[in-house]
Structure 1
Amino acid sequence: MPSYPIRPTFPIDVRSPTGTVKVGRQGTAVTLDVVAASGGDGALTAGQFYAALENAFPGASATVRDAVPSDVSNPVNRAYRTTAVITPGCALLVFVQATLSLSDAQIENLLASAALQPQ
């Protein structure tokens, strides 16, 4: 019995995002993975995070900066000044979420868009 390719009835966007596309194989299937511009290791830099924050909520980084306590021994102040890599649940991310009253869904979207920002 011959096989025929399946043609989708919906549009497929094949443009590459800011990262690259890695093509692989699993058995006879072809896989396509998007590798973010950050190298694909899942580590988001503070610069990527703040760029995504400004794109999503203009002026938000200034609001966060103004809310940071001035006491250098405060854990939030230390996190704001020294956090290089943003991870879910890190002190800086928790502080930003509380300061801007962002929902968990908004934070997830923010982290996803941060992964596509140049490093």
Structure 2
Amino acid sequence: MPSYPIRPSFPIDVRSTPTVVVTREGTAFRFDTTGVGGTPGPSRSQFFGALEALTPGATAVLAAAVPSDPGDPINRAFNGTAFVTAGCALATFVKATLGLSDALLASVLAQAAALPN
């Protein structure tokens, strides 16, 4: 029976905690890591939970504004974003659609991070 190496043949940086950024591209997902550390941001469900606490019915308003074309970037952001940050496509869409200020969006993200996942 052949033996296999215990170590992987590709380099792994174990000195820092990587941040994972998940991007949906069509029907595929892309996972990018950076060595910055920390958490990538609140999850999509945490974000929508905090948004509903701030403005009941906001999710329904957003869902109605999303184009039905699955190839549209707004549709992909609304349905495929895993972690929400202030500059991501989902947060930009929410901010523009609901007319949120930068301070209010930052408040929603902070409240979302405190919610259980």
Q: How would you bin the TM-score normalised by the shorter chain?
A: 0.5 to 0.7
Query: What value does the CA root-mean-square deviation take over the aligned residues?
Result: 1.2
Question: Is 1:72 equivalent to 2:64 in the alignment?
Answer: no
Gapped regions of structure 2 (runs ≥ 5) = 1-37
Q: Normalising to structure 2: TM-score of the pair?
A: 0.65
Identity %: 50
Partner Cα separation in structure 1 for residue 54 and residue 107 of structure 2: 9
Partner Cα separation in structure 2 for residue 42 and residue 79 of structure 1: 16
Higher relative contact order (CA 8 A, sep 6+): 1
How many residue pairs end up in the alignment? Answer: 80
1:72 Cα deviation (Å)?
Answer: 1.1
**4+ residue runs over 3 A deviation:** none
**Larger gyration radius, structure 1 or structure 2:** 1
1:42 touches 1:115 (CA, 8 Å); kept in 2?
A: no
Partner Cα separation in structure 2 for residue 67 and residue 82 of structure 1: 16
Partner Cα separation in structure 2 for residue 109 and residue 46 of structure 1: 15
1:73 Cα deviation (Å)?
Answer: 1.1
Superposed counterparts of 1:20-59, under 5 Å: 41-59=39-57
1:81 Cα deviation (Å)?
Answer: 1.0
Gapped regions of structure 1 (runs ≥ 5) = 1-39
